[in-house]
Amino acid sequence: MTLPITVVTLFPDMFPGPLDVSIMKRAQDKGLFSLSTVQIRDFAFGKHKTVDDTPYGGGAGMVMRADVVANAIRHAKKESPNAKVVFMSPSGVKFDQNKARELAKHKDGLILLCGHYEGIDDRVLQSEVDEEISIGDYVLSGGELAAMVVVDAVVRNIPESLGNEETLDEESFDIESERGEKLLEYPHYTRPVSWEGQDVPDVLTSGHHKNIEKWRMEKAFEKTKKNRPDLLKG
């Protein structure tokens, strides 16, 4: 089954970009997802094809017009009428692995709306958008990079998209402590066993699977405590 993804953007030239290499390319070749773009400017009116205007109430910047953006979204919906419309926005709900997993299951497809300038007239969000997603607490110049991040994370979570060399259930956020906390990933090592005075921890070459598992859990916990204490319960 193919997950159809449409990006509604003023800059379709940015796509597929990184979404056409490595794991993403293979997933597309396998038919796990399809990627298309809709150019918002094609739905602008008049000779100048204007998509934005000054904000009511004053203030800096330009706001993308509701009518133009809505027409672009409705065009995307013709192809996938039950797709979930997601607006990429710094004021959205924060994106995470759970959300990526949830969106990967939405087989009716995703329409990712990218803003630019100050943002988009709020009325189109009310009438056309199902969810607003932020990829983090910082402001990007446009939604395109955010959309790429979401596509990559979502597609990785379509089970068939990863080969044997990668796996889904032992990654950061998939490892769980006994208390049900999501942990970051434990450290990895490969050959050579000794490098510039640093040796691979003995336990990993011991062949003792129980001990290896225990060691990895400890390391995952240490790492989480150091870098992301917010993930741990008290």
What residues line the site for ligand SAH (CB under 6 A)?
88-91, 114-116, 118-119, 134-136, 138-140, 142-143, 146
Q: Which is nearer to ligand SAH, 100 or 135 (CB)?
A: 135
Query: Which residues are CB-contacts of 48 (< 8 A; sequence separation ≥ 6)?
Result: none
Q: Tally the residues of the chain.
A: 234
What is the C-alpha end-to-end distance of the chain, expressed in Å?
A: 42
CA atoms of 53 and 30, how far apart (whole Å): 42
Q: How far is the CB of 83 from ligand SAH (least distance, A)?
A: 18
Q: How far is the CB of 143 from ligand SAH (least distance, A)?
A: 3
Q: How far is the CB of 91 from ligand SAH (least distance, A)?
A: 5
Q: Which parts of the chain fold into alpha helices (H)?
A: 22-29, 66-79, 97-104, 122-128, 144-156, 202-205, 209-227
CA atoms of 64 and 80, how far apart (whole Å): 24
Query: Which residues on neighbouring strands pair with residue 3, listed in sequence order?
Result: 33
Q: Which is nearer to ligand SAH, 128 or 186 (CB)?
A: 128
Q: Which is nearer to ligand SAH, 3 or 112 (CB)?
A: 112
Q: How far is the CB of 148 from ligand SAH (least distance, A)?
A: 11
User: Is 148 exposed, middle or buried (CB count within 10 Å of its CB: 0-12, 13-18, 19+)?
Assistant: buried
Q: Which is nearer to ligand SAH, 70 or 175 (CB)?
A: 70
Q: Which is nearer to ligand SAH, 91 or 194 (CB)?
A: 91
Q: How far is the CB of 10 from ligand SAH (least distance, A)?
A: 10
Q: How far is the CB of 4 from ligand SAH (least distance, A)?
A: 21
Q: Quick check: helix, strand or coil at residue 84?
A: strand
Query: Which residues are CB-contacts of 106 (< 8 A; sequence separation ≥ 6)?
Result: 3, 83, 84
Q: Which is nearer to ligand SAH, 70 or 114 (CB)?
A: 114
Which pair of tokens denotes residue 132?
Answer: 């607003």
